[in-house]
Chain A
Amino acid sequence: MYRYDEFDHEFVAGRVAQFRDQVSRRLKGDISEDAFKPLRLMNGVYLQLHAYMLRVAIPYGTLSSRQMRMLAHIARRYDRGYGHFTTRQNIQYNWPKLGEIPDILEELASVEMHAIQTSGNCIRNVTADHFAGASADEVADPRPYAEILRQWSSLHPEFSFLPRKFKIAVTAAEHDRAAIQVHDIGLQLKKNEKGELGFAVWIGGGQGRTPMIAKKIKDFLPEADLLSYVTAIVRVYNLHGRRDNKFKARIKILVHETGTEELTAQIDAEWAQLRGGELTLPAEDIASIQAYFAPPPLTDRPEGWAQLAAWKRTDADFSAWVAQNVAPHRHPDYGMVTISLKPIGGIPGDASAEQMEVIADLAEELGFDEIRVTHEQNLVLPHVALADLEPLYRALAANGLATANAGLITDIIACPGLDYCALANARSIPVAQEISERFGDAARQREIGDLKIKISGCINACGHHHVGHIGILGVEKKGAELYQITLGGSADENTSIGEIIGRGFEPERITDAVETIVETYLAGRSNDKEDFLAYYRRVGSAPFKDALYGEKSQAA
């Protein structure tokens, strides 16, 4: 993985000093809270319902054991012993003190981490496929490009006061695990006929109040032109994006209002001036960043196959965990292991300091020192020999980390909601917990199969409800919490925005409603190979509406 050189160390140290100065001016009253707000936001500091919140960047979701141990240390020393992994592959601490945040940043800098641009109206932490560098289906590792974009966007003097936040995601496989079509810029690394690397470029995807699927504006952008082209996009957006209404300020609205063709023409005109200039990436620079991401030395471990078969025969729980949470690696003797942060009835994405340390140790011992954070709020050990799965499983299980539910109905994404967030209309976490309990039975979950539930506490959609197979959105009606359900959303290569199914449900009825939806699917599917999304796409919303509202609408 990427290692800081002297330049990076000096830069981050400079940034910490700068923020320390800003905090001290704020505490002295030289800067008003209003003026401080954009400054703290550019360093990941939010003011929440009860306290400040610090969001730490985990670039493209990649962590070493040493970094994970530091995250544990910060949870213990400055927070209440927990961290919360987010849908943007970051980690949030919910209880730091403002005066201590510069110290936290200094500790982070010692392990090559920071909180730069994890919030604010700037280019945010760049995200990537969590299986990057390990999965069989990618054309090349997308992370070197995410790292180049991370560097280029850091404290960018022209693009630090954009109309609104700006999110970039990179993937390198046809099967999109990075949700690029719901990002401001989505990049898909691919090869052209000549075998050269480049990107398909998508812009204007997003969730929030006005969900939109991104439009492809370039089929093949040569890798050397990555920064000049992205600069052209962001410059056009900075100059022309709307600033009169915060809800219309994302680039998706600019794309929508200007028209894809016209906006693409503007971007291309700007790019024509920039192309071939000093932003052009020399091949040797790309190569030296790529060298940091060289795959670990995976020796053949064929003994794993027989061992695995034997263990599976004797331990049904282990067998179920392998089937659900271990995905095939590029190397046949290895697997990519999802560590679920969704224990039945738990808070999605939360990990205790102790759990983080256990994971750090295991990654060091059995996983080539690499950990990933997924946008589904789980962790991944991307390179584990099949022969090591059994001891890994035992250690995870002993620490509440071996829930065999990756991709299943209890693998729920939920935003912090009304328990923490100042913008929330409704609670998200308790809803996730109740649904998780209701469907907690392992056999029942497996019978239901792949089903993504995503919950947001308000229309800002941090819980990605628009792209949940079942999306749940907290709304407020006459002072009471109500949950609106959408069906059929998805954020992969066939991205779709879920459709609202009907009027909302009270907190005490939402889990029943989800159960009704699930039962409707189970009764209607043609066979157990037809997953929920496929069924929904085949039959539409009618059977679900009937089941949820049928009797009442007939009575009315």
Chain B
Amino acid sequence: MALIWNETGVVENDRFASGEETPFIDLDAALTAAEEGANSLAVLVAPGDDVSRLAPVLDRVALVALDFPAFSDGRGFSHATLLRDRLGYEGEIRAVGDVQLDQVPFMLRVGITSVETRHEPTARRLTEMRLPGVGLHYQPSARRSQRPSETSYSWRRRTADAG
């Protein structure tokens, strides 16, 4: 069973949880559906997709699922950054696919808000709310974070709620 998690904890009965059938439609289908007037779209963005194509229909999107087909495939991190920083999308972004614990802190930083994982040890640690990240950062990112102090270097950040 896939676990859905966001920063408040495990999400039960999520309407976009992957079950027998996928709850998502692909990018092309989403563009067509939006043209036909559909709303509340759940779009699956594949690693090779050009996420900027979603720009004109983002107000009709309820959730963007970014596919991470393999641990080593980091294109989704750029997609999330572009969705937030460039396209101004404010809705939910979910990481799906081969999501593993050690990537989750990076995912949160680039603006991903929820993850779906089937990896049991990952699910366990997320359930326990024990994330492995470092709360200090040497670069700004899509997720809002503070300058550690007014005098610190311009590129440094501290996660607001870093525990």
Interface residues of A (CB under 8 A from B): 7, 10-11, 14-15, 18, 21-22, 25, 30-31, 35, 38-39, 121, 148, 151-162, 227, 235, 238-239, 243, 273, 278-282, 285, 288-289
Main DSSP-derived SS at the B contact region: loop
Contact across chains for B78 and A152 when beta carbons are under 8 A apart:
no
Residue of B nearest to A282 (CB): B154
What per-residue 1/0 map shows which CB atoms of B134-146 lie under 8 Å from chain A? Answer: 1111111100000
Name the A residues within 8 Å of B140 (CB-CB): 278-279
- Quick one: which of B77, B86, B154 contacts A281, CB cutoff 8 A? B154
Name the B residues within 8 Å of A11 (CB-CB): 134, 136, 138
Residue of A nearest to B124 (CB): A30
Contact residues of B between 87 and 135, Cβ < 8 Å to A: 100, 102-103, 105-107, 109-110, 121, 132-135
Contact across chains for A156 and B153 when beta carbons are under 8 A apart:
no
Q: How far is the CA of A435 from the CA of B109 in the complex (A)?
A: 52
Contact across chains for A161 and B154 when beta carbons are under 8 A apart:
no
Q: How far is the CA of A285 from the CA of B138 in the complex (A)?
A: 13
Name the B residues within 8 Å of A155 (CB-CB): 106, 134, 137-138
Q: How far is the CA of A38 from the CA of B134 in the complex (A)?
A: 17
Contact across chains for A161 and B72 when beta carbons are under 8 A apart:
yes
Q: Which of A25, A154, A239 has the most CB of B within 10 A?
A: A239
Contact residues of B between 67 and 91, Cβ < 8 Å to A: 71-75, 77-78, 81, 86
Residue of B nearest to A151 (CB): B138
Using known A-B contacts A158-B77, A279-B140, determine if residue A273 contacts B86 with beta carbons closer than 8 Å.
yes
What per-residue 1/0 map shows which CB atoms of B7-24 lie under 8 Å from chain A? Answer: 000000000000000000
4 closest residue pairs by CB, A with B: A161-B74, A14-B134, A157-B109, A157-B106
A-B residue pairs in contact (CB < 8 Å), sample of 18: A11-B134, A30-B121, A31-B100, A39-B102, A152-B138, A152-B139, A157-B77, A157-B105, A157-B109, A158-B74, A159-B77, A160-B74, A161-B72, A162-B74, A238-B74, A238-B77, A273-B86, A279-B155
Name the A residues within 8 Å of B75 (CB-CB): 238-239, 243
Q: How far is the CA of A404 from the CA of B154 in the complex (A)?
A: 46
Write the nearest CB–CB distance from B50 to chain A, whole angstroms: 9
Write the nearest CB–CB distance from B118 to chain A, whole angstroms: 13
Size of the B side of the interface (Cβ < 8 Å), in residues, is: 35
Main DSSP-derived SS at the A contact region: helix
Write the nearest CB–CB distance from A36 to chain B, whole angstroms: 10
Q: How far is the CA of A158 from the CA of B107 in the complex (A)?
A: 8
Interface residues of B (CB under 8 A from A): 47, 71-75, 77-78, 81, 86, 100, 102-103, 105-107, 109-110, 121, 132-141, 148, 152-156
Q: How far is the CA of A441 from the CA of B110 in the complex (A)?
A: 59
Name the B residues within 8 Å of A162 (CB-CB): 74
Name the A residues within 8 Å of B72 (CB-CB): 38, 121, 161, 243
Q: How far is the CA of A243 from the CA of B46 in the complex (A)?
A: 14
Contact across chains for B106 and A160 when beta carbons are under 8 A apart:
yes
Write the nearest CB–CB distance from B146 to chain A, whole angstroms: 12
Contact across chains for A38 and B155 when beta carbons are under 8 A apart:
no
Contact across chains for A285 and B154 when beta carbons are under 8 A apart:
yes
Q: How far is the CA of A154 from the CA of B137 in the complex (A)?
A: 8
- Quick one: which of A31, A158, A227, A285 contacts B81, CB cutoff 8 A? A158
Name the B residues within 8 Å of A278 (CB-CB): 140, 154
Q: How far is the CA of A14 from the CA of B159 in the complex (A)?
A: 13
Q: A157-B109, A161-B77 are in contact. List 6 more A-B contacts (CB 8 A).
A: A152-B155, A156-B138, A156-B139, A157-B137, A158-B141, A159-B77
Name the B residues within 8 Å of A273 (CB-CB): 86
Write the nearest CB–CB distance from B151 to chain A, whole angstroms: 9
Contact across chains for A38 and B154 when beta carbons are under 8 A apart:
no
Contact across chains for B102 and A243 when beta carbons are under 8 A apart:
no
Write the nearest CB–CB distance from B98 to chain A, whole angstroms: 9
Residue of A nearest to B47 (CB): A243
Write the nearest CB–CB distance from B12 to chain A, whole angstroms: 24
Residue of B nearest to A6 (CB): B148
Q: How far is the CA of A156 from the CA of B134 in the complex (A)?
A: 11
Name the A residues within 8 Å of B103 (CB-CB): 161
Residue of B nearest to A160 (CB): B106
Write the nearest CB–CB distance from A32 to chain B, whole angstroms: 10
Q: How far is the CA of A535 from the CA of B40 in the complex (A)?
A: 71
Q: How far is the CA of A159 from the CA of B76 in the complex (A)?
A: 10
Write the nearest CB–CB distance from B99 to chain A, whole angstroms: 11
- Quick one: which of B73, B81, B133, B155 contacts A148, CB cutoff 8 A? B155
Q: How far is the CA of A298 from the CA of B121 in the complex (A)?
A: 57
Using known A-B contacts A161-B73, A238-B74, A238-B75, determine if residue A15 contacts B134 with beta carbons closer than 8 Å.
yes
Contact across chains for A161 and B71 when beta carbons are under 8 A apart:
yes
Q: How far is the CA of A392 from the CA of B71 in the complex (A)?
A: 51
Contact across chains for B78 and A18 when beta carbons are under 8 A apart:
no
- Quick one: which of B73, B78, B139, B152 contacts A243, CB cutoff 8 A? B73
Contact across chains for A151 and B153 when beta carbons are under 8 A apart:
yes
Q: Which of B78, B100, B103 has the most CB of A within 10 A?
A: B78
Write the nearest CB–CB distance from B103 to chain A, whole angstroms: 8
Contact across chains for A7 and B136 when beta carbons are under 8 A apart:
yes
Residue of B nearest to A236 (CB): B78
Contact across chains for B132 and A21 when beta carbons are under 8 A apart:
yes
Q: How far is the CA of A235 from the CA of B105 in the complex (A)?
A: 19
Name the B residues within 8 Å of A153 (CB-CB): 138-139
- Quick one: which of A18, A282, A289 contacts B133, CB cutoff 8 A? A18
Name the B residues within 8 Å of A10 (CB-CB): 136
Contact across chains for B73 and A285 when beta carbons are under 8 A apart:
no
- Quick one: which of A30, A121, A151, A157 contacts B155, CB cutoff 8 A? A151
Name the A residues within 8 Å of B81 (CB-CB): 158, 235
Name the B residues within 8 Å of A148 (CB-CB): 155
Contact across chains for B153 and A285 when beta carbons are under 8 A apart:
yes
Residue of B nearest to A161 (CB): B74
Q: How far is the CA of A158 from the CA of B75 in the complex (A)?
A: 8
Name the B residues within 8 Å of A158 (CB-CB): 74, 77-78, 81, 106, 110, 141
Q: How far is the CA of A323 from the CA of B31 in the complex (A)?
A: 71
Name the A residues within 8 Å of B154 (CB-CB): 278, 280-282, 285
Using known A-B contacts A30-B121, A31-B121, determine if residue A22 contacts B132 with beta carbons closer than 8 Å.
yes
